[in-house]
């Protein structure tokens, strides 16, 4: 069983029946996600959602004076909401309020980690901000369809995320348009260095290349009065080098103190991290090796899912990864990973483990936001049409076809998919899975592309024939 990590306090006896019901619902949700013999059906998910909301109403009635209490009921309830949210993605109801829960929970983790790390790019925040706006819109649209208890919970979580997002945006607002690209490049290099550090074979040459890039950026920032000591000499030599750089005549207006501090800190951190990982060569201290191996395994598995998502991912599979990461994240004390004796990790182990943790959460977020609004029952058809569309677009970009005959394989496949519809619907047995509109729209787009290619080929053929006839007429007159 995979409970959410949380502080446990004594359970009110009156809440025991609620806990028992939620445990039963959670078990049913887990069985639903594990059953690969059939696809997840909408009616099963909606039934379990209604059962959860019944327990929420009972719980809220009991806690009229204890709104902030957190005990095992809340951890199991969170499990149920996570599973329900991922199940809504699995059945193609991506734009419904319950589907928001998992995405917002992951966003909350990401934002907390970005705030803790103090380095991130504006693009990170743009993506998260857009997703939060979508989530708010889905909640507003669901006011007539879903329980106010759920909507209140979701809106409160979105509010917390947007507050943290605003703080992070304010932190980067001091960067000028000239300095922002350099900041983005430094963030990219720092992340790339961390990625190098977790490879099975340490890439010395690649790290050396990043060091050279850092030196180039450092030189580019010197005219702004921004410097970082990258020498490998003594402390006195580093200070002297830094003072020498700061005495240079500035070629650009000195940026705001906040922006200057941001860039100097990040530049310095990049240099230190590059030197540190070259010294360590990926060797993790024994007390933290088990955690490292576990996080690395999770990261690698999630990245494989990212590559094969369209064909192999059932969104509910993400639940177990979320819970494993949550338990590791919650085990930190004051942000530190501790060994068996309660001692905090050294800087190298700390940053390496945090990179793996954050990268895994970021991959889960990417998998969630790229989930297609189509039931897994229709995914095989949807994926085939997506591939067909890509092939037809590639043919069009390559200059089209010389003869309509070249379209026969595409036309046969499109017709065979179109013939699967019953009264305009793609049926699975007697069920009409969600995502009909998305699949039908994609099918129509493929037919339209095929038609355009055929018309272009026929026009080219007609023009060629006309040109040949003209040549044969003009020939004797010359």
- Domain residue limits, the chain: 180-280, 290-368, 379-472
Beta partners for residue 421, in sequence order: 426
Summarised one tens digit per residue, pLDDT across range 313-353 is 889 999 999 999 999 999 999 999 999 899 999 999 999 99
For residue 158, the 8-state DSSP code is: H
pLDDT in tens, 236-289: 454 445 444 444 444 555 667 788 888 999 999 999 999 999 999 999 999 999
Indicate the average pLDDT of the chain: 87
Q: How many Å from the N-terminal Cα to the C-terminal Cα in the chain?
A: 90
State mean pLDDT over 7-16.
72
Confidence band for 235, pLDDT divided at 50, 70 and 90: very low
pLDDT of residue 230: 46
pLDDT in the model for residue 223: 79
pLDDT interval class at 426 (50, 70, 90): very high
For residue range 92-128, what is the model confidence (pLDDT) as tens digits?
999 999 999 999 999 999 999 999 988 899 999 999 9
Q: What's this model's pTM, rounded to 2 decimal places?
A: 0.85
- Helix ranges (DSSP H) in 370-475: 379-397, 408-418, 436-474
Q: Is the pLDDT of residue 29 over 80?
A: yes
Does residue 88 carry a pLDDT above 80? yes
At 338, list the tokens.
């501790």
Per-residue confidence (pLDDT) for residue 327, from 0 to 100? 94
Mean pLDDT within 208-225: 89
What is the C-alpha separation between 113 and 59, in angstroms, rounded?
31
Residues 6+ apart with CB under 8 A from 14: 62
Query: Which stretches of 3-121 are DSSP H helices?
Result: 16-34, 42-62, 72-90, 97-117
| pLDDT tens-digit series, residues 124-149 | 999 999 999 999 999 999 999 999 99
pLDDT band at 10 (very low <50, low <70, confident <90, very high): low
Cα(464)–Cα(95) distance, integer angstroms: 50
């Amino acid at each position: 069983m995979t409970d959410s990590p949380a502080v446990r306090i004594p359970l009110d006896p009156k809440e025991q029946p609620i806990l028992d019901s939620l445990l039963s619902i959670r078990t049913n949700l887990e069985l639903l996600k594990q059953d690969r013999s059939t696809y997840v059906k909408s009616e099963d998910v909606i039934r379990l959602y209604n059962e959860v909301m019944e327990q929420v109403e009972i719980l809220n009635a009991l806690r009229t004076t204890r709104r902030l209490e957190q005990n095992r009921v809340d951890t199991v309830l969170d499990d149920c909401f996570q599973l329900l949210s991922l199940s809504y993605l699995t059945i193609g109801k991506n734009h419904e309020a319950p589907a928001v829960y998992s995405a917002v929970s992951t966003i909350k983790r990401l934002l907390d980690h970005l705030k803790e790390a103090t380095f991130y790019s504006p693009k990170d925040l743009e993506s998260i901000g857009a997703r939060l706006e979508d989530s708010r819109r889905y909640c507003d649209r669901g006011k007539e369809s879903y329980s106010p208890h759920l909507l209140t919970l979701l809106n409160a979580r979105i509010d917390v995320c947007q507050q943290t997002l605003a703080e992070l945006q304010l932190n980067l607002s001091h960067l000028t348009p000239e300095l922002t690209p350099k900041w983005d490049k430094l963030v990219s290099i720092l992340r790339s260095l961390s990625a190098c550090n977790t490879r099975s074979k340490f890439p010395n040459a690649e790290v050396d290349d990043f060091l050279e890039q850092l030196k180039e950026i450092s030189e580019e920032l010197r005219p702004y009065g921004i410097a970082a000591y990258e020498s490998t000499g003594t402390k006195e030599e580093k200070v002297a080098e830094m003072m020498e750089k700061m005495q240079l005549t500035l070629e650009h207006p000195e940026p705001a103190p906040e922006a200057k501090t941001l860039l100097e800190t990040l530049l310095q951190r990049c240099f230190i991290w590059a030197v540190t990982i070259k010294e360590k060569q990926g060797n993790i201290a024994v007390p933290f090796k088990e955690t490292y191996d576990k996080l690395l395994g999770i990261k690698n598995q999630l990245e494989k899912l990212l590559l094969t998502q369209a064909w192999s991912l059932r969104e509910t599979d993400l639940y177990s990864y979320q819970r494993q990461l949550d338990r590791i994240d919650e085990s930190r004390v004051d942000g530190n990973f501790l060994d068996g004796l309660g001692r905090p990790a050294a800087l190298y182990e700390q940053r390496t483990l945090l990179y793996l943790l954050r990268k895994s959460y970021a991959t889960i977020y990417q998998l969630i936001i790229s989930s297609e609004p189509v039931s897994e029952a229709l995914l095989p058809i949807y994926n085939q049409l997506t591939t067909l569309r890509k092939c037809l677009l590639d043919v069009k970009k390559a200059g089209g076809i010389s003869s309509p005959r070249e379209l026969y394989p595409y036309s046969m496949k499109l017709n065979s998919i179109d013939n699967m519809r019953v009264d305009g619907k793609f049926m699975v047995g007697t069920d009409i899975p969600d995502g009909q509109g998305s699949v039908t729209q994609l099918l129509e787009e493929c037919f339209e592309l095929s038609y355009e290619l055929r018309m272009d080929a026929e026009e080219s053929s007609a023009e060629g024939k006309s040109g040949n006839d003209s040549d044969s007429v003009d020939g004797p007159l010359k």
